[in-house]
Amino acid sequence: MTHPEFLPIQWKSTHLELLDQRILPGKKEFLKIVSVEETILAIREMAVRGAPAIAITGVFGLTLGAKSRVGVASSKDIDSLLTSVLESRPTAVNLSYAIREAKNRIQGITDWSLITEVWESYGKEMVKLDLSANRALGENGLSLFPKDQSEYHIITHCNTGALATAGHGTALGVIRSLRDAGKKVIVYADETRPFLQGSRLTAFEMMEEGIECYIITDGMSGWLMNHRKIDAVLVGCDRVAANGDTANKIGTYNLGIVAKEHGVPFYVCATKDSFDLNLKTGDEIPIEMRKESEVTQFDFLKTEDGKFLFPEGKTSPIGARALNPSFDVTKAHLIKNFITEFGCFVPEEISVRLKNV
């Protein structure tokens, strides 16, 4: 998907096009987004997902919002627009950084047409910077894998590839870089319930790349580490606190505990904007709660004539309740290294490393 570069976010000057990740891998269709309201809906409904991709999409959504307005922009109208996009998904820090920078870039500007130009330029800049950061991150990750080893077995969680970024990816970017360095990589992709970003999206990307990949359920990692040699766990992240506690897709924490028990190095792949030094620990990271129906129903249980075994594709009793936190926090002591575009380092070095970036 990176040969040629696969770009799930495409700005077309008059509108935004997003690869609809809700219907992958069954269909490859782009959504045409023409307003800030449609942008917010696409983010909330996970047509686009992944912290870097959400941030870029949010800025182009602001651009569409500004483009629809004329005349003089009041500070109240600007703040209302910024807040509406910021609140679309709360856990990933990338979006809040992007919104803050978008506001800073229009200080003293009150003409909506000029604001549109500034935000459009910023969105394009974000795409280029994210692609560059991902490629650098992938190359830096190579240093953590023995050069004299020809084959690596790696577990991933959620989707951290081109679909979650402007292209190339973070954790999957490291895997791509290993492949490009001539190594054989075998990927074990956690399905990542309930939205199945691993089985739907990571497996899709790996198949597109020709990288060997096996889907495992979220509860299989312990068995896998106990029965096969796993060289590393590679995950992405949505927010990293100052002490190294890391929020990522629900199930990451479990994977970190199992990796620690089996002596498997657990690596978090993060670009600069994933770090939030304003938060001392992961206890301060807001966790998004999503709708219960994502857990209680699915459409794969059907009879031979195509009818659902459960009404409306439910996989649980009618009326059953469910919890659906979208993220959890992996404690810093479970993380061996952070892999970033500015190097690899242990959690204790975060504050020092970030000061120099």
Known binding-site residues for substrate equal 49-51, 89, 197, 248-249
Backbone Cα Rg of the chain? 20
Residues 2 and 118: their CA atoms lie apart, in Å, by: 29
Token pair belonging to 203: 């497996």
Binding-site residues, please? 49-51, 89, 197, 248-249
Per the omega criterion (within 30 degrees of 0), is the bond before 25 cis?
Answer: yes
DSSP string, 66-103: HHT--SBPPHHHHHHHHHHHHTT--S-HHHHHHHHHHH
> How far lies 257's CA from each of 170, 218, 251, 337, in Å?
22, 13, 10, 15
> How far lies 26's CA from each of 131, 204, 237, in Å?
26, 10, 26
Report the phi/psi class of residue 252: left, alpha or beta, with left for phi > 0 and alpha for psi in -120 to 50. alpha
Q: Are 65 and 81 in contact (CB under 8 A)?
A: yes
Q: Are 201 and 189 in contact (CB under 8 A)?
A: no
Q: Please tell me which residue in 238, 245, 273, 328 is annotated as part of the active site.
A: 238
Residues 187 and 206: their CA atoms lie apart, in Å, by: 8
Per the omega criterion (within 30 degrees of 0), is the bond before 194 cis?
Answer: yes
130 is annotated as an active-site residue: no
Residues 240 and 161: their CA atoms lie apart, in Å, by: 19
Written as one letter, the residue type at 335 is I
Residues 195 and 131: their CA atoms lie apart, in Å, by: 25
Number of neighbouring beta carbons within 10 Å of residue 183: 16
- Which residues are designated catalytic? 238
